[in-house]
Amino acid sequence: MSDGAMLLKARGTSNSCASADRVRARETERVLRKLDLSREQAEAVECLSRSLVDELVRGPIAKVTAIMERTGVSAAGREA
């Protein structure tokens, strides 16, 4: 794994995912307060929001990191 890929994985991935999860949690909570849902329904909404973040944020970041590892490109866009 290149130094850049390790840096992206260590910093960028965790920061991006944490930021996305904070937004997800805040927005999910905001919507759940407005709705009169059963516990099971609220849990389903929570599960859906987590799945969306996984698909839209974590998945693409993992793919980019894997490409960087295979090609030896650093996080700065240069070959390692």
Query: For the chain, first and last CA: distance in Å?
Result: 9
pLDDT tens for 20-49 read 899 999 999 999 999 999 999 999 999 999
Residue 19 has pLDDT above 60, yes or no: yes
What are the structural domain ranges in the chain? 3-69
pLDDT score recorded for residue 62: 80
Is the pTM higher than 0.85? The answer reads: no
